[in-house]
Structure 1
């Protein structure tokens, strides 16, 4: 990845940690779990961090709860114990974990806020999902809610909440309304970002801690670049 320092145990951005859960601010380019590229996944980096921090002998347990696309940044939750992993999984299944994303797009949507309902079909050959406006064979229903947060000089900042968690859902659905995410060549943006990232960031997450039963809300700092900086100025 050009001009991008990927996560390692010394630069890992840990946003929350207790005996049960660790939450990381993922960098663009990191893969959450191992894949066919053979690149070192974020899960292995987090294991190394835990092993060193707590001087743990032997293997470190870490459960992957969910994923983010490789060019996407922001919040990723891992389970530190086998006890808490199924509880976190259950929160995702029951939609009791609220995730909010920020996306920067070139074209302003027709509406300032809206609910998008599509049927997504994944093509495994090119690792891409196509959004259809009606159900077709092998498609899955996808629902998201967005609102315009800020108008920038040349772009628009959208806030997105998902009702479903489909493959490339935000990328595909925003592209379908003519508002592809900045840098996302795969979904119709006209040029890539120099670091191969896209301007999609898992910004906020909130849930009830599955063990402590306390409310947890976490905000992921934005990546450092002029366009993201303009979103909070």
Structure 2
């Protein structure tokens, strides 16, 4: 993991695909002299991206409140083999999580025990076979992006759990948490953290 942002209250690291967020915090201690570190959110194990942690329990509470209130702007990039129509738009589904297989099913209308999920997307670039999307996550549901794009027939490349045909060379899902923007709870500064796209995606013409 590499550090993308750090001050006396927060640290943001690049979590590569394949490393779980339940990672031994001894690994994180090599990146920061502060311990313990307090996760503010999670990323799926096979997803890469920005992982934000707090250096105190108080900051974790404050950042979690920002997260829940919608004041943290979260942008992802995803690669799909079937471009969504239209090229830019919004998706709204109601998600139901199965505890049996840790999978989410997306419905077009509310059903029992469902949670509403919303996102905006824009098609940024296309190669001969693949399409790069920017996704603005408006709610933060379990497997939300994966389930919603699968529901419209555009599963994310490598995501065999949600209907893609095969795995990628490194076993990752082509989904990355690429940007976080939020007001710092202590300094009040507007913090923007960005992460470049994975090099592997370039081999797919993106």
Scaled by the length of structure 2, the TM-score of the pair is: 0.95
Shift of 1:45: 1.7
> Unaligned 5+ residue runs, structure 1?
1-11, 34-40
Distance in 1 (CA, whole Å) between partners of 2:135 and 2:24 is 24
Distance 1:228 1:100, change over 3 A: farther
2:176: which partner in 1?
Answer: 201
1:38: which partner in 2?
Answer: none
**8 Å CA contact 2:130, 2:204 repeated in 1:** no
Distance in 2 (CA, whole Å) between partners of 1:140 and 1:127 is 15
- How many residue pairs get aligned? The number is 206
> Are 1:45 and 2:20 matched, yes or no?
no
Distance in 2 (CA, whole Å) between partners of 1:107 and 1:21 is 38
1:19: which partner in 2?
Answer: 8
The one of 151, 154, 162 equivalent to 1:187 is: 162
> Secondary structure in 1 aligned to 2:148?
helix
Give matches, 1:132-171, under 5 Å. Answer: 132-171=107-146
The one of 109, 127, 134 equivalent to 2:84 is: 109
Shift of 1:49: 2.8
Distance in 1 (CA, whole Å) between partners of 2:69 and 2:78 is 25
> Unaligned 5+ residue runs, structure 2?
none
> Secondary structure in 2 aligned to 1:99?
strand
1:61: which partner in 2?
Answer: 36
Distance in 2 (CA, whole Å) between partners of 1:91 and 1:125 is 31
Shift of 1:195: 1.8
1:175: which partner in 2?
Answer: 150
The one of 54, 62, 65 equivalent to 1:87 is: 62
Shift of 1:224: 2.1
Larger Rg: 1
**8 Å CA contact 1:25, 1:221 repeated in 2:** no
Distance in 2 (CA, whole Å) between partners of 1:159 and 1:76 is 18
Scaled by the length of structure 1, the TM-score of the pair is: 0.84
1:124-170 Cα shifts (integer Å, max 9, x gaps): 11110000111111111111111111112210011111111111000
**8 Å CA contact 1:143, 1:164 repeated in 2:** yes
> Are 1:28 and 2:17 matched, yes or no?
yes
Shift of 1:32: 0.7
